[in-house]
């Protein structure tokens, strides 16, 4: 009766694999190119991908619960549009921020409620959400709207000096705060643990008396909020709002989460893995830009190959688990 076989390391294996992958790609770049292994290159990884880190954190919640959210890229675009249009109309910056975050969270809430109440696949519902948000952008303006607000531009260009002459933007601070918050919520709160429970076995979670309905809707609210926040960061990064911003970014976010070791079936994964996943994607991009002659589409090709490998590995893990379960029974 005392089977004391703690196999915690096995659960961390996918995340470790991603971290190792990051170290290898970064190490390869450092050996190949002068100036690659500098603090600023690392800082730039965070600066250029702050919005993706926030998106991936939200997406981690959704995928852990066994769902998927395809709307995040469009919500980012809508957020940039609302930000730019709001500022152009002379709204104060805090009002713009509140409006954007509210819109994103509400869209998430709506999708979550539809998914839960009508028991429709998240894929379809969030696909509808994706078209809706993208369409709303063009309702505001079909043109790109640049942001000229002084306060906003000041925040966008402000840098924080770190020791060693490395600079980062406020975007990075916000992104890292989001990751910390996600870590806390996922691992220290009942809501977070219920997300894992629902992803592991929804029926069991329900029979255990856990609030599965609230949790399932909640993850989409979180993802919507994160998308809106990422949209704000993207506005700071691009200083414009445009309906064709962030096309396909939902796929980058999903790729980062999966490469970060989160099981697409739900129930297993870590938000730090998603962070590592974003960094791997960023490093590949940096590598290709350092190389200079390769087209940037090579980034997509490498990401595609990586995704395939990671999903194959996950598949193997699930099979292994099933076999284990079969032997145990």
Q: Which residues lie near other proteins (CB under 8 A)?
A: 1-8, 11, 184, 188-190, 193-194, 196-197, 199-201, 203-211, 267-268, 321, 324-325, 327-329
CA 130 distance to own-chain centroid: 16
Q: Write down the least CB distance from residue 114 to other proteins, Å.
A: 21
Between 188 and 319, CB nearer to other proteins: 188
Q: Write down the least CB distance from residue 78 to other proteins, Å.
A: 32
Q: Write down the least CB distance from residue 205 to other proteins, Å.
A: 6
Between 191 and 298, CB nearer to other proteins: 191
Between 176 and 200, CB nearer to other proteins: 200
100: left (phi over 0), alpha (psi -120 to 50) or beta: alpha
Rounded Cα distance between 189 and 57, Å, is 16
DSSP 3-state assignment of 166?
A: strand
Q: Write down the least CB distance from residue 325 to other proteins, Å.
A: 7
Q: Nearest 10 degrees: CA dihedral of 130, 133, 136, 138?
A: -60
Rounded Cα distance between 287 and 267, Å, is 33
Q: Write down the least CB distance from residue 2 to other proteins, Å.
A: 5
Between 209 and 292, CB nearer to other proteins: 209
Between 202 and 250, CB nearer to other proteins: 202
Q: Write down the least CB distance from residue 207 to other proteins, Å.
A: 4
Which of 84, 71, 191, 170 lies closest to 129, judged by CA?
71
Between 193 and 300, CB nearer to other proteins: 193
Q: Using H for helix, E for strand and C for coil, what is the string for 110-125?
A: HHHHHHHHCCCCHHHH
Which of 216, 299, 304, 302 lies closest to 254, judged by CA?
304
Q: Nearest 10 degrees: CA dihedral of 237, 133, 66, 194?
A: 80
């Amino acid at each position: 009766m005392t089977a004391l076989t703690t196999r915690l390391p096995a659960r961390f294996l996918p995340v470790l694999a991603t971290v190792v992958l990051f170290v290898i790609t970064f190490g390869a770049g450092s050996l190949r190119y002068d100036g690659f292994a500098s603090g600023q290159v690392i800082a730039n990884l965070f600066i250029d991908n702050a919005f993706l880190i926030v998106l991936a954190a939200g997406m981690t919640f959704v995928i852990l619960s066994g769902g998927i959210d395809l709307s995040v890229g469009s919500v980012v675009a809508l957020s940039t549009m609302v930000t730019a249009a709001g500022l152009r109309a002379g709204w104060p910056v805090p009002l713009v921020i509140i409006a954007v975050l509210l819109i994103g969270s509400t869209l998430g809430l709506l999708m979550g409620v539809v998914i839960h109440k009508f028991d429709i696949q998240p894929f379809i519902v969030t696909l509808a959400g994706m078209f809706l948000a993208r369409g709303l952008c063009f309702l505001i303006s079909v043109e790109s709207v640049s942001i000229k607000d002084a306060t906003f531009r000041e925040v966008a260009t402000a840098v924080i000096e770190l020791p060693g002459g490395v600079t980062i933007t406020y975007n990075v601070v916000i992104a890292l705060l989001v990751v910390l918050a996600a870590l806390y919520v996922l691992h220290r709160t009942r809501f977070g643990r219920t997300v894992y429970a629902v992803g592991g076995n929804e029926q069991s979670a329900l029979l255990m008396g856990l609030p599965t309905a609230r949790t399932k809707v909640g993850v989409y609210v979180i993802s919507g909020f994160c998308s809106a926040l990422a949209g704000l960061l993207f506005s700071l990064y691009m200083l414009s709002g445009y309906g064709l911003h962030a096309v396909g970014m939902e796929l980058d976010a999903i790729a980062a989460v999966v490469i970060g070791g989160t099981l697409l079936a739900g129930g297993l994964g870590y938000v730090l893995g998603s962070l590592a996943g974003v960094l791997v994607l960023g490093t590949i991009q940096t590598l290709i830009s350092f190389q200079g002659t390769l087209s940037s589409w090579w980034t997509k090709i490498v990401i595609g190959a990586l995704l395939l490998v990671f999903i194959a590995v996950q598949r193997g893990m699930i099979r292994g688990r099933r076999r284990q379960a079969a032997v145990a029974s």
